[in-house]
Structure 1
Amino acid sequence: YEDNQVTLDPDVVDAWGIPVPRIAMRWRDNELAMRRDMAEQAAEMLDAMGGRNIQVRLSEKQSPGYGIHEVGTARMGTDPRRSVLDQFQRSHDIRNLMITDGSGFVSSACQNPTLTIMALTVRSCDHLLDELKRGNV
C-alpha cells in the first residue's frame, strides 16, 4: 500500500544528528483475513496429524515485522512519480545507484524472499553489464 511508508522524521534526530526513521503502516482487512485463514489451516493440519489441545490466538494489535520478511521502502516501477527504482532496480533519480536488495518489493508474502532477491540482483547485474558494453555507464 502506498500509504505504508518509511520516511525520515523531520523533528527527531539520533545522537549524531541524523533524522530517525518514521514508520507509518496499518494492517488492512486483507492481511487480517490472511492471518486468520493461515491460523485456521494450521490448526486443521495439526488436528489431522493427531495434535491435541490446539489453540489459535491472534492479536489484532500485532506489531509489523513479527512474522514477515521486511522488504520495501524503495518501490520498483516504471513511473518515477510513483516509484523509486526502475525494472532493473536502478534509481530513477540517481542513475549510478542500483539497490539490489528487497527494497524494491511493493509487497511481500510470508515466504523467504532471498532467492527472488538473488534472481533480481543477477538480472540487474546482467543489465548493468550490457549497459557497460554499450558505453552507457
Structure 2
Amino acid sequence: MERPYIFMQRALLTFKAAGLHPPLSGFAEEDFWLRLWVERYGALEPQLFNCCVKRLAGERYFPRLHDMDAAVLDEQKKRQQARRRTQERQADCPEPDLFDLANSQRRVREIIEHLQNRLLPVYK
C-alpha cells in the first residue's frame, strides 16, 4: 500500500468516529501504535485494509492486534473463495454463447400470435 501512515491515521479516525476510544494516552503511544500497525499491515492491499477497518469499527471495543489479524484472515478467505467460485463458473461454461437467437425469436413470435388469437375478439 502506498503511504501506509495515512491509511493508519484514517483507520484511527474511523475508530474514534465510531465511538471506540483508543487506549492511547498520548502522542508517543499513538505514534508507537501507528508504527506498529504500519509494520504489521502496511503490505496489505488498501481495499482489504479498509474492509477490515469498517468491519472492526462496528465492534464494541477498540480493536486489538489479534482482532485485526482475524479480520484480515477472514477477509482474505472470503476473497479467495470468491475468486475460486468465479474460476469454477468460467470452467463450467467453456462456450461463450449458449443462446440461440433464431430459435428465441421464433418462440417469441409464436407466443405473440397465440396471445393475439386468444385475447383479440373475433369479428366475422
- Greater share of residues in strand: 1
Which TM-score applies when normalising by structure 1? 0.34
Higher Cα Rg: structure 1 or 2?
2
TM-score normalised according to structure 2 size: 0.36
| Larger RCO (alpha carbons 8 Å, 6+ apart) | 2
More helix by share: 2
